[in-house]
Amino acid sequence: MKRTRKHEKTTGKRNPVSKRELDPFLERERAQYENPLPSREFILQTLEEQGVPLSESQLHRLLEIESHEEGLLGRRLGAMEREGQVIRNRRNAICVVDKLDLISGRVQGHPDRFGFLVPDQEGDDLFINAAQMAGVLHGDRVLVRPGGIGQRGLREASIVEVLERNNQTLVGRYMTKRGVGVVASADRRISQDVLVPPKASRSAKPGQVVVVEIVEQPTRFAQPIGRIVEILGNYADPGMEIEIALRKHRLPYEFPREVERRCARFPDSVSAKDARAREDIRHLPLVTIDDETARDFDDAVYCERRGSGFRLWVAIADVSEYVKPGDALDQEARLRGNSVYFPRRVIPMLPEVLSNGLCSLNPETDRLCMVCEMDIGKNGNVGSYRFYPAIMHSHARLTYIAVADALEHPSGKSARSLKSLMPHLQNLKMLHAALARSRKLRGAIEFETTQTQMHFDEHGKIERVSAVSRNDAHRIIEECMLSANVCASDFLQDHAQPALYRVHEGPTSEKLLALREFLAEFGLQLSGGDKPHAKDYARLLEKIKERPDAQLLQTVMLRSLRQAVYSPKNAGHFGLAYEAYTHFTSPIRRYPDLLIHRAIKAVLRSKQYEPGDWAELGRHCSETERRADDATRDVEAWLKCYYMQDRIGERFEASISGVTGFGVFVVLDTAYVEGLIHISELGSDYFHFDANRHQLLGERTGKSFRLGDRVAVQLVRVDLEQARIDFALAEQPKSSRRKRR
């Protein structure tokens, strides 16, 4: 610096500034690296300024890269290639992707061998034909060049470069075709069979379920090649459907050794040391109320009357006391995102020593907890509240069925067995009535949906599928948890603490328009203009609930809404009619709840919790939630197929639950099983699909099949491999035909 100033004094000129000093993100790079490289943004800026593709050596000169930095820059360029920022042409020169009018995105495969590109940035999906799809697999990230409109009326794309291969292993059935071993993926979105050389088969037998490692990815002219690394067993073996789902959806199902070592150091119970600096609420008769089959207990409640209102304690397992930010347990919990509940098996987010032990609010046991203590008025509105860490003692493990029965029959057997707790349960019932009134005034939407439960025999085979009805105990606990979750979001907002909100936005303008057009055909109108409120939906649901077509109308209204996600940007919860909402009450089974606990504790210590990129955390937790839903749907679909396979030819009453261009889906009244009536089974006519009216309409006969219509069906086919059930329209009995004539 002294030489520079002297030079300026004698000549009046300043030395030329280093090219790298012009990097607008230089300080960021210096903060992250001891020897900073040019930032990605500066590399792109340099390439764009030159206006032509550059060789690596040319780029080195322009960026003043020293010889010892060339390898590091090469790795940075490689990462930029994988993320679709730059690409190398046939001469190995580096090009800016945006200059080439290329689009990066992820491939979404289809069982019929074609696929789509889902762009990384906003924009419509692009169609990828079967020939282009031959060189990639579902989930791969690629660069494409957009083309014209194809025969399907969609914009087509040509794959220019594969940026990232998504599939290193696959689960599927091993088969031999013309003496050659292949694995057919259990994921139908991957339509290519994986070739398995004889020496790589591990002596697998045709028909067995295996895991294959892909050693050569597909090209447009060659199938993928792999080697079998695990033989799971036969397709119909008990529990095989879960083993397949775990691997198909890449669910982590084994805990790493470091996690097991960490768990081995936990005590069996809460110590006196653990209880220090916590409020002692062990005297409060807190109870857990859950399903009969539940093994992990997140929450306990207690309510007492305060004047004309109530005081409610919601105690939640203090998982954050044992799972510390960044440790092995935390990393694994973040990776999993949530617990996954299959019929007869749970893949927990946390190891059993925590999920069913030290963190679970087991009866007659001291446990550490985070408490939300609320004063609630007679109108159901929450007044004051506070959060604090505490030590509690669950006084009973109750079930929904027992509590509902006791409240409905105060002199019955269940009530007598809960004698000492009945006054507190009655308080909860009165509190629920107040909260329900508040919910109605707020305008929260209540869709009536049917949930099902599978019942198994001692050999693990389904005996029946039944509907699960919600009772008053379910509703009591739901309202208590909603109140605590809202207080958590309010608390974090008041203290400007970043958090993950549970966001449920209203309908898009396109879906809203389609809904209004559909309702108009029934002489109905959704109020609220261009931005309806949940109240507008709730009013309409109340208006139609006694109509014979109520199920149809409710289904279309439900499908007009967007999916709930986790996000640091609070956009409110449309369905619950809350301006802000978080998940606080289930940290044993949901990672976002654990983050909220840490954020609340940070505020209580006058600090701020920063787990990293909140937006990325929100995307990840939303994805793991969808992954769990997809996996459980797969398992339930397979189990229902297994249940129905011996009932070919039987006749059922059903309702149309979905309408597509290739047929209608129906759900059976009694078995609660869904299947397809292919369009070819609907009758001798040309049927045209009307998406806005949710119907297939016959061109000649005018016969329509519409969402919610009642139909009689006959089971004609069950495909266990594809987890698919096919029905045909059942012929009406002769007696009813004669009666009409």
Domain 645-740 adopts which CATH fold? Answer: OB fold (Dihydrolipoamide Acetyltransferase, E2P) (2.40.50)
Label each residue of 479-532 as H, E or C. HHHHHHHHHHHHHHHHCCCCCCEEEECCCCHHHHHHHHHHHHCCCCCCCCCCCC
Lowest mean pLDDT among 121-130, 227-236, 363-372, 522-531: 121-130
Residue 696, token pair as written in the block: 């297939």
Structure-token match 């300024």, residue found: 49
User: What is the per-residue pLDDT for 732?
Assistant: 63
Distance, CA of 103 to CA of 142 (rounded, Å): 8
Cα–Cα–Cα angle for 259, 485, 497, rounded to 5 degrees: 75
Mean pLDDT of the chain: 90
Q: Name the residue ranges covered by the structural domains of the chain.
A: 19-98, 101-164, 169-235, 257-499+583-629, 645-740
83: amino acid identity, one letter: E
Report the CATH fold assignment for 101-164. OB fold (Dihydrolipoamide Acetyltransferase, E2P) (2.40.50)
Domain 19-98 class, CATH top level? mainly alpha
Distance CA 191, CA 111 (A): 6
Same CATH topology for 101-164 and 645-740? Answer: yes
Residue-level length of the chain = 741
Angle at 138 between CA 132 and CA 143, to 5 degrees: 55
The angle subtended at Cα 495 by Cα 436 and Cα 601, nearest 5°, is: 85
Share above pLDDT 90 across residues of the chain, in percent, rounded to a whole number? 69
Q: What pLDDT is attached to residue 689?
A: 93
CA distance 444 to 287: 27
**pLDDT confidence of residue 16:** 53
Provide mean pLDDT across the span 190-212: 94
The pLDDT tens digits for 2-53 are 444 444 444 444 455 678 888 888 888 888 888 889 999 999 988 988 888 8
Contacts of residue 79, defined as CB under 8 A and 6 or more positions apart, other chains included, come to: none
pLDDT recorded at residue 736 = 46
For residues 678 and 660, give the distance between their C-alpha atoms in angstroms, rounded to a whole number: 10
CATH of region 169-235, choose from 3.80.10.10, 2.60.40.10, 3.30.479.30, 2.40.50.700: 2.40.50.700
Rounded Cα–Cα distance for residues 520 and 271 (Å): 64
**pLDDT single digits (tens) 257-303:** 999 999 999 998 998 888 888 999 999 999 999 998 888 999 999 99
pLDDT of residue 7: 43
Tokens of 224: 């993928």
